[in-house]
Amino acid sequence: MMAFAKGQVSSNSSVSEIKRYIGVGLVNVVAVNPTKAEIKELMGYEPKEEPQYTGVQEIDGKQVNFARVTFIVKTNPEHNNGIETTQMMTYFIRNQYRRGSQTGKYQVIDEYNNSAWATEDTIKNKSQVMYANGPAKLIGDYRPAYVGEWELAHFIRQYIWVGSAGETSGFDYINGVWIPKTGDDLKNCESSFSVDEIQRMFKGDFSSIKSNINLQPTNEVKVLFGIRENDGKTYQDIYTNYVLRSNVSNYSKLQERIEEAKNNGGLNGRTYEFCDLKEYKVEATDFSNATPVAEDPFGAAPTTSPW
């Protein structure tokens, strides 16, 4: 004989419901490369082991050291349409120079986080980097950039407000020409890592990152929240390759970056919207025009019980 148990009072809420967010939000850094205990306190879950922020991976048959820099960031609901959420943003740096797969050119970087692409001969000869429309916007000496270096330095520069808000730092645009700043104005635009600092990261020393963030601990930066889909499940995503200063309201540069990445075959399964941060809602399927089922696949219920 079958029977029903007592059951429980119904509820409209779901304990397992996890909210996702999409759009541009203001975040503050609350931890850098957090410990297991800090993750438990700030994120609400406890990793099984202490997180490791260095390692080795095989690239083209070679063993290459890498460093991982994870920021725990939090939104202030007063600045984000009432949304309060805590998330992780992760950057990777590899002990390898960044080289374009199509052009073979290397990314180079100066002391002010300006970057360009140069041939191996240009770098060896320390020549001026030239493009078809003129010289690249670099100031003074430059060197090859490590994979992931520019993106990490860009995040910190925008977060602590060093130099200008755009991609070009240490220049003034005067009468249609980019003119390098001088003196203290130029020195105040310095925003790059030394080779020694980067090499220490591969050994687990992230003190330079933490000290830079602590220069302006209450600052905020604008980041792009998105949705990543995989195997029918949705995950929270934050685009790390380009961020905006907290007072920037024009998202066109950010949109250009996303479109360029997608055109190059990247960001598969990711969805972004260039608007103020909001809760992500899946649109309900409209069944109003659906074709009705002709027959009950189980047949009609009997009018009388055979028992």
pLDDT of residue 72: 98
Map out the domains of the chain as residue ranges: 21-279
Question: With contact defined as beta carbons under 8 Å apart, do 238 and 224 qualify?
Answer: yes
Per-residue pLDDT of the chain (307 residues; tens, 9 = 90+): 555 555 555 555 444 568 999 999 999 999 999 999 999 999 999 999 999 999 999 999 999 999 999 999 999 999 999 999 999 999 999 999 999 988 999 999 999 999 999 999 999 999 999 999 899 999 999 999 999 999 999 999 999 999 888 888 999 989 988 999 999 999 999 999 999 999 999 999 999 999 999 999 999 999 999 999 999 899 999 999 999 999 999 999 999 999 999 999 999 999 999 999 999 987 644 444 544 444 444 444 444 433 3
pLDDT of residue 302: 42
Question: With contact defined as beta carbons under 8 Å apart, do 104 and 301 qualify?
Answer: no
pLDDT of residue 167: 82
pLDDT of residue 12: 52
Q: What is the pTM of this model?
A: 0.86
pLDDT of residue 48: 95
pLDDT of residue 304: 41
Q: 229, 294, 264: which is closest to 20 by C-alpha?
A: 229
User: b or e along 199-219 (b: 16 or more beta carbons within 10 Å of the residue's beta carbon)?
Assistant: ebbbeeebebbeebbeeeeeb
CA distance 235 to 227: 6
CA distance 201 to 20: 32
Q: 208, 244, 219: which is closest to 30 by C-alpha?
A: 219
Tokens of 120: 């191996």
